[in-house]
Structure 1
């Protein structure tokens, strides 16, 4: 890799932080190199310095840049065994609370948020639940809040739903129109969508479950540790944390603060 590219990368990230207060300085470098190379091609920039000039002087370009800086690839009921484990091991504990708060951190376009709402509905918990869905990308949040997904995704989503222990048909929860699946607004009435950064923001509520999956892999160790500490501080005593299948708490200072309750599913309980 060109050493000048890495110098320009650090200058670009510092500029974004100072100008827009979005902090990507502790995201994994290898992933940033790849995604920013794609951004340079998209914007027709020969160097990162040229891209930085546009990002700092054209706010619309920065809004588009968030598509490259944040990962927005997911599925409803992604990794079905995770949702099945939540249904079997976490939901019975949550049912003992009079009210429940759940935080989906880094919610992207909302696939996991709507999946969680459906799971809670089927287990009789949605009426006494609040789901906080947060992300730093406002365009992704708007897409998540719309509850609209392409019909071409529904076959895979339905397969995931059934494998996750779904009790009905996924089609019971949406209406099809104009090549889109529009999920029931009654589900959304229990979801709060909000801008929140794991890199710069602090705890905003006490919650019973944090689900932040396939996000930590894009952070460096320092930012991973910050995020995990934030999750710990957000959880009630004996609250639950779910992370992605390729993520771990093993090397975090918070490792001893959690116990893994479902082997292999990366579901932990706060000690």
Structure 2
């Protein structure tokens, strides 16, 4: 057994679950952001980290800061939402999109794509580059949504640290790239700034899978590594939104650890690429 390590973080006390429920209720009532359907274990870990960051011994102290110190909530959002991604993450997924999905998307005169939970925008720009390589970006509108306004602003800027570009480039090549990633950004001051012509086809907007409704009919919905942070009820709600939003024969992409298998919506979809979690809405669904 590994020895215990003192992380310097406060440990959850016996009232933690009660305090967590009260904090999430307070956040919902004051800021209209609903985290009450997020998976408990993951949320607890992130809140313990946040308590340390804000110098709080209890969640009740953190709740007091959230309610009375306006600058705290935007900072707390970076703990409540998971901001971990990279361009062309899981390259096999993007390769499958090229080979199995793009040929069918070509048959539409115009396309709408929804990236739900877009974080800092890495997946959005990946899809935009893929679509440009395949000659489809000019007739595509990509909706990139998230509940974290700070992440959305970063995504909209299209600016990433230069030390991440090598990893992005490797993923891009593995995704079946037809161009060089360097064709799409300029560098300076340790940063890579992605081409503003990519952003012309992207609409960044606040949207909550917990509380908001469908806003357009989509040909492809990509929501990857988001549902794993939801409890079963919220997963069902989100999948219902995707099903409602997709046109007939539209496509749904999920993360590598996510599935429709145990969902009430499973019968509405066919598997296109099982290992890469790509599904297609049935014609009559």
Q: Is TM > 0.5 for Structure 1 vs Structure 2?
A: yes
Unmatched 5+ residue regions in structure 1? none
Q: CA deviation at 1:68?
A: 0.3
Q: Are 1:143 and 2:154 matched, yes or no? A: yes
Supply the distance in 2 between the matched residues of 1:225 and 1:92 (Cα, whole angstroms): 29
- C-alpha deviations, 1:68-93, integer Å up to 9, x for none? 00000100000000000000000000
Q: CA deviation at 1:154?
A: 0.4
Corresponding residue for residue 128 of structure 1: 139
Q: How many residues align?
A: 271
Q: Are 1:28 and 2:34 matched, yes or no? A: no
Secondary structure at 2:183 match in 1: helix
Corresponding residue for residue 9 of structure 2: none
Stretches of 4+ aligned residues off by more than 3 angstroms: none
Unmatched 5+ residue regions in structure 2? 1-11
Supply the distance in 2 between the matched residues of 1:183 and 1:19 (Cα, whole angstroms): 36
Q: TM-score, normalised by structure 2?
A: 0.94
Corresponding residue for residue 223 of structure 1: 234
- C-alpha deviations, 1:222-242, integer Å up to 9, x for none? 000000000000000000000
Corresponding residue for residue 37 of structure 1: 48
Q: CA deviation at 1:3?
A: 3.3
Q: Are 1:13 and 2:19 matched, yes or no? A: no
Supply the distance in 1 between the matched residues of 2:227 and 2:179 (Cα, whole angstroms): 32
Supply the distance in 1 between the matched residues of 2:62 and 2:198 (Cα, whole angstroms): 40
Corresponding residue for residue 254 of structure 2: 243
Supply the distance in 2 between the matched residues of 1:150 and 1:259 (Cα, whole angstroms): 39
Q: Are 1:162 and 2:173 matched, yes or no? A: yes
Residue number among 128, 135, 149 corresponding to 1:117 in the alignment: 128
- C-alpha deviations, 1:165-221, integer Å up to 9, x for none? 011111111001110000101111000000000000000000000000000000000
Corresponding residue for residue 267 of structure 1: 278
Residue number among 164, 175, 178 corresponding to 1:153 in the alignment: 164
> RMSD of aligned C-alpha atoms?
0.6
- C-alpha deviations, 1:85-111, integer Å up to 9, x for none? 000000000000000000000000000
Corresponding residue for residue 88 of structure 2: 77
Residue number among 196, 216, 231 corresponding to 1:205 in the alignment: 216
Supply the distance in 2 between the matched residues of 1:236 and 1:43 (Cα, whole angstroms): 45
Q: TM-score, normalised by structure 1?
A: 0.99
Supply the distance in 1 between the matched residues of 2:88 and 2:164 (Cα, whole angstroms): 12
